[in-house]
Amino acid sequence: MNSEILYLRVNKNCNAKCFMCDFWKNAETEITQEQFEKGLQQFDHLKLVRFTGGEPLLCDLLPRFIKTCHSGGIMTSLITNGLLLSEKLDCLAESGLDQVVISVDGPQPELHNRLRGTEGLLEKIEEALHLINNRYPMLHTRVNTVVSHMNMPYLAQLAEWLKRYNIEQWSVIPVKMDGYDWKTKMSSDEFQHYYGEFQKAVRGSSIDMLGYSDTWAGNGTDFWSGKLSIRPKGNCHLVEKLSFYDPFSDYIYPCNCVPHRSKEFQNPEEERNWYFEHGHEYCRGCEPLNAYCADFPQTIETNVLNI
């Protein structure tokens, strides 16, 4: 395959109990060296491998995988809840890691730790960010934030928190839980107020707002009422650039969001072609960054760390 970006699942278990995710309920699993090599061998022109899970820092072989990619000229990134990041940081950096993507949902420990179901989590993230800024300033940093009614009032404060820790990029992702209805969680006036505060906080910010992250709710009203969903405007060009490999099912998906959906296909190539043509009709609730890259794939050509 000709994908430039590969999301690679290295495990299916997690050490955080996030309210929107059930990975913490899974038994311990870990990709083998053979599965990792098989995954890489299926792609010819990789520029970036992003390690995901579960929680990838629970994978003992992760530093070895990063070294393999680094020695082959492939950039590496990982998505983490950050609980083990300060403990593993030296090994990750020495192995050649290029980027760390940390999930942060609030600027105060009591909020973030509650949403992620883990005591002391934000404190550990802040510890890791201090280490990165002091020891590894060339390690690129990004924060992913899942927005719900529980943390939306604090998005503007979170923007200031990100500046304090020199975060380079911010990806904002509205919660995608089945049956989640914004208009039953807060009033339209409340939604518009907090959304306006967020947009004011990031306007002209030094933080790179990825994709449609700065306008994730459009004009606010339609998104709040359920009339607007995030999705590509036309053909999904993202699937031409990105793949998601799950070694536990030995299947290659055309996008990192697709494994959460249940549509059946004969093979990966049929699925990729179908999503290219029909993703903008089917994928209601795409991530703002993915939808943007589907509409403007040239942003990936500029810098693969933009996805």
pLDDT at residue number 270? 94
pLDDT at residue number 260? 73
pLDDT at residue number 266? 87
pLDDT at residue number 204? 82
What are the structural domains, with CATH classification, of the chain?
Answer: 5-306 (3.20.20.70)
pLDDT at residue number 1? 82
pLDDT at residue number 111? 98
pLDDT at residue number 83? 98
Residue-by-residue pLDDT tens, the chain, 307 positions: 889 999 999 999 999 999 999 999 999 999 999 999 999 999 999 999 999 999 999 999 999 999 999 999 999 999 999 999 999 999 999 999 999 999 999 999 999 999 999 999 999 999 999 999 999 999 999 999 999 999 999 999 999 999 999 999 999 999 988 889 999 999 999 999 999 999 999 998 899 999 999 999 999 999 999 999 899 999 999 999 999 999 999 999 999 998 877 678 989 999 999 999 999 999 888 999 999 999 999 999 999 999 9
pLDDT at residue number 262? 65
The structure's pTM equals: 0.96
pLDDT at residue number 284? 80
End-to-end C-alpha distance for the chain, whole angstroms: 19
